[in-house]
């Protein structure tokens, strides 16, 4: 049923290409014109043939009637068959239709009593002309002269067949000519379509639209599209420049904020050490601890923003060949003291060299481990594996916790997306930039990261980085 619906939909004129529709319109108009022309010409010609046939029949019948003579015994002389050579049938009858002696050709059929005198009647395939015969004797005589209409009908049929063939042939030629002309007229549009499709696939508005040679509507369309692309290219360049300026501003501002934040943290920690627990009031201690927590959180946020801003602005750190396995082992050792009952394991498959910035890769591994610690309960195992796989260096961090909610695999890498987990119960939620930093670092190193489910049903994050040449 679906195939039939698809076939019927494809046959709908609205689904046809423009050149086919133009050819169809041209052929339809030509068909209508030719049909009207053929009907008019055919009718006029057939009527003319009928009139000529009838005139010839009348002239011959009148001539025969004038040449006939009657004797005293009402005998017709000469024989009508001898006078009308080539005639189908001739009869001389009285008013009752009785044949007069010698007044018929051999084998002439009975045409019945004379009717429609000086007119025509049809008897089978014969057309009969009836006229009065002038006589010098008291006998009323009528001449019935008949000829077969087979030749006339054959000529008329050939005429209509010729006209019908002309109509079909003219329509076919009009359709072929319409397709050829429409294809030629639509060729510049096809060129514009191909170029527009190339621009859409490459997403490069700097490509130029070919300008047709003719100065018509298609040429005007090409010039308009070219102008639109130039304006879009200029707008994109302006937007990219503005975004680049904003990225550089955020990177510079984040960098400048680190110094005062570091100073604030140092002063607060010094103040906390100088105030002896026994010599300070409880409210002073709470104020200092609150300020330290806020300052540390702001420091982490500024550091995260600085890393993302540098990645957006294309400011990458110094690259050198480093061992991804060693980077993962160092990150695992750093978070082990704060694992809070989690079991951390590393599947060491040997050195896996990559070309990158060790500090940024270390931050990537730390964020993945910190994400697992925050979103899995105590006692959960977090496994880290580093290996070569299909020509890439692969860092995989998986756990057997609750896993990622369905449909959130791509969204977890968006900025400021926070999840809930056991580590967030005390209000120590992260900044929502950890996994965004992981994705930014992976892409800045020519790789990518994907989220999925581990064999145990938990979360699994797979980072792929290119191996050095």
CA distances from 377 to 382, 401, 421 (A): 11, 7, 8
Q: State the pLDDT at residue 253.
A: 62
Q: State the pLDDT at residue 386.
A: 92
Residue 321, phi then psi, degrees to nearest 5:
-75, 130
Contacts of 94 (CB under 8 A, 6+ apart): 100, 139, 140, 141, 142
Residue 116 token pair = 């429609």
β-strands 448-453, 392-399: how paired? Answer: unpaired
Residue 136 token pair = 């010098």
Q: Are 251 and 309 in contact (CB under 8 A)?
A: yes
Cα dihedral 248, 254, 260, 266 sign: negative
Q: Are 222 and 210 in contact (CB under 8 A)?
A: yes
Element (H, E) at 263: helix 217-274
Cα–Cα distance between 300 and 431 in angstroms, integer?
8
* Backbone Cα Rg of the chain: 53
β-strands 448-453, 459-466: how paired? Answer: antiparallel
User: Domains, the chain, ranges and CATH?
Assistant: 10-203 (no CATH), 204-315 (1.10.287.130), 320-466 (3.30.565.10)
Q: State the pLDDT at residue 254.
A: 60
Q: Cα-Cα-Cα-Cα dihedral of 98, 100, 101, 106, to 10°?
A: -70
Q: Which residue has tokens 């080539």?
A: 86
Measure the CA angle with vertex 121, ends 115 and 122; round to 5°: 135
Question: For residue 459, what are the β-bridge partners?
Answer: 453
Q: State the pLDDT at residue 398.
A: 92
Give, for all 469 residues of the chain, the pLDDT tens digit. Answer: 455 555 554 445 566 777 778 788 888 898 999 999 999 999 999 999 999 999 988 888 888 777 776 554 444 545 554 444 445 788 888 778 777 766 566 567 788 888 888 888 888 888 888 888 876 656 678 888 888 888 888 999 999 999 999 899 988 988 888 888 877 777 777 777 888 888 778 877 777 777 767 677 777 878 888 888 888 888 877 777 777 666 666 666 666 666 676 777 777 777 667 665 555 555 666 776 777 677 666 766 666 766 776 676 666 667 889 999 999 999 998 888 888 888 898 887 788 999 988 888 988 998 899 888 888 888 889 999 999 988 899 999 999 888 888 888 888 888 777 665 554 444 445 667 788 888 888 888 889 999 988 888 889 999 999 988 7
């Amino acid at each position: 049923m679906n195939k039939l619906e698809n076939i019927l939909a494809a046959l709908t004129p609205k689904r046809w290409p423009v050149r086919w529709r133009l050819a169809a319109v041209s052929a339809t108009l030509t068909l209508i014109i030719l049909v009207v022309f053929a009907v008019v010409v055919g009718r006029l010609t057939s009527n003319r043939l009928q009139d000529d046939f009838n005139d010839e029949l009348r002239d011959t019948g009148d001539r025969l009637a004038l040449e006939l003579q009657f004797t005293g015994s009402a005998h017709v002389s000469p024989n009508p068959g001898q006078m009308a050579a080539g005639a189908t049938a001739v009869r001389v009858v009285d008013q009752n239709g009785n044949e007069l002696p010698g007044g018929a050709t051999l084998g002439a059929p009975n045409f019945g009593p004379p009717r429609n005198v000086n007119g025509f009647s049809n008897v089978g395939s014969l057309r009969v002309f009836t006229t009065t015969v002038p006589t010098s004797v008291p006998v009323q005589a009528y001449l019935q002269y008949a000829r077969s209409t087979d030749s006339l009908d054959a000529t008329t049929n050939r005429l209509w067949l010729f006209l019908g063939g002309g109509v079909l042939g003219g329509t076919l030629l009009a359709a072929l000519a319409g397709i050829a002309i429409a294809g030629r007229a639509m060729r510049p549009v096809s060129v514009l379509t191909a170029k527009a499709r190339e621009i859409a696939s490459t997403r490069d508005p700097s490509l130029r639209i070919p300008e047709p040679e003719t100065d018509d509507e298609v040429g005007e369309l090409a010039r308009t599209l070219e102008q639109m692309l130039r304006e879009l290219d200029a707008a994109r360049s302006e937007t990219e420049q503005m975004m680049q300026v904003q990225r550089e501003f955020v990177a510079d501002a984040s960098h400048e904020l680190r110094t005062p934040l570091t100073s604030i943290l140092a002063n607060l920690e010094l103040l906390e050490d100088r105030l002896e627990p026994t010599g300070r009031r409880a409210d002073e201690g709470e104020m200092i601890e609150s300020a330290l927590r806020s300052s540390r959180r702001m420091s982490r946020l500024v550091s995260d923003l600085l890393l993302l801003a540098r990645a957006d602005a294309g400011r990458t750190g110094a690259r050198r060949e480093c061992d991804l396995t060693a980077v993962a082992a160092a990150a695992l050792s750093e978070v082990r003291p704060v694992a809070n009952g989690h079991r951390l394991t590393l599947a060491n498959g040997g050195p896996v060299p990559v070309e990158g910035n060790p500090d940024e890769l270390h931050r990537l591994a730390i964020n993945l481990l910190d994400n697992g610690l925050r979103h899995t309960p105590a006692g959960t195992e977090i496994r880290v594996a580093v290996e070569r796989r299909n020509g890439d260096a692969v860092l995989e961090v998986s756990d057997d916790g609750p896993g990622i909610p369905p449909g959130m695999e791509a969204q977890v890498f968006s900025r400021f997306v926070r999840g809930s987990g056991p580590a967030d119960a005390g209000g120590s939620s992260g900044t929502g930039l950890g996994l965004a930093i992981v994705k930014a670092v992976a892409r800045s190193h020519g790789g990518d990261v994907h989220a999925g489910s581990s064999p145990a049903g938990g979360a699994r994050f797979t980072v792929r980085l290119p191996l050095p040449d």
